Amino acid sequence: MITKYRNRVSGPLLDRIDIHVEVPAVKYKEMAGEATGETSEQVRGRVEQARAVQRRRFKHSNARMTPKQIKEHCRLDEECQELLKMAMTELNLSARAYDRILKVSRNIADLDASANIQLQHISEAIQYRSLDRQLWT
């Protein structure tokens, strides 16, 4: 039944969803243990800083970048370009997915306080797109 339902969701609809994340159930042992990682306040601080960078860049969030702004603010070095090219080919992603990956990469770089999109940023953004291909096709 799950497969039948998933097959009813169209590719163009999936293309409009920027981030696809599988969230497995958390085991009791992990919930009951001592928390590690960033606190919510720390994450909020990083998000606020990234949003401030985006407002200075062009008065709105990265999600609203125009094609011209994507070309200007989402430049990739050769290694990043090769990875994205491979992902586009191997995952059979659309032109819309290409722009979405660049926008998400720019967001990840902003959250990382990085002026440039780096390999780990583009890789993470591709991973968010590849989940839909594994789960929905």
pLDDT tens digit sequence for 16-75: 777 777 778 888 888 888 877 888 999 999 999 999 999 999 899 998 999 999 999 999
Residue 136, pLDDT above cutoff 50: no
Contact between residue 67 and residue 103 where contact means Cβ atoms under 8 Å apart:
no
Structure tokens at 94: 């659309």
pLDDT (0 to 100) of residue 23: 77
Which helix (H) or strand (E) is 16 found in, with range? none
Evaluate if pTM is beyond 0.85: no
| Cα separation, 120 vs 133, whole angstroms | 20
Going from N- to C-terminal start, the domains of the chain cover 63-137
pLDDT (0 to 100) of residue 46: 95
| Cα separation, 119 vs 78, whole angstroms | 10
